[in-house]
Amino acid sequence: MKHLSTPASITLALIIHTYVNGGQAQEIEQYQPSLNEFGQPELQGTWFFGSTTPVTRPSDLGDRAAYTAEEIATIESEALQAN
């Protein structure tokens, strides 16, 4: 069996790649999000608010990098009681 040289192998691979992927380059319609009555994107849907991760840094942390294990346990128990 005769082996192809490196340049011939690369050329053959590029030809096959172009042929196989050529059908995937079709134009698609531009996505248009639904808008509300004010012309803004419609953001209604299902939102998950069950996370205990704060959006802003809590002021009670001060200069510390993280809560202690006891503080974490207290925060988690308060979150469970709130739900």
Which pLDDT tens digit goes with each residue over 33-64? 889 899 998 888 777 777 777 778 888 888 99
Say whether pLDDT at 65 is over 60: yes
CA 79 to chain centre: 26
pTM comes to 0.35
- The CA-atom distances, in angstroms, between 6 and each of 1, 14, 28 are 16, 12, 37
Say whether pLDDT at 25 is over 60: no
Q: Which amino acid is at 23?
A: G
Contact by Cβ (8 Å): 75, 66 = no
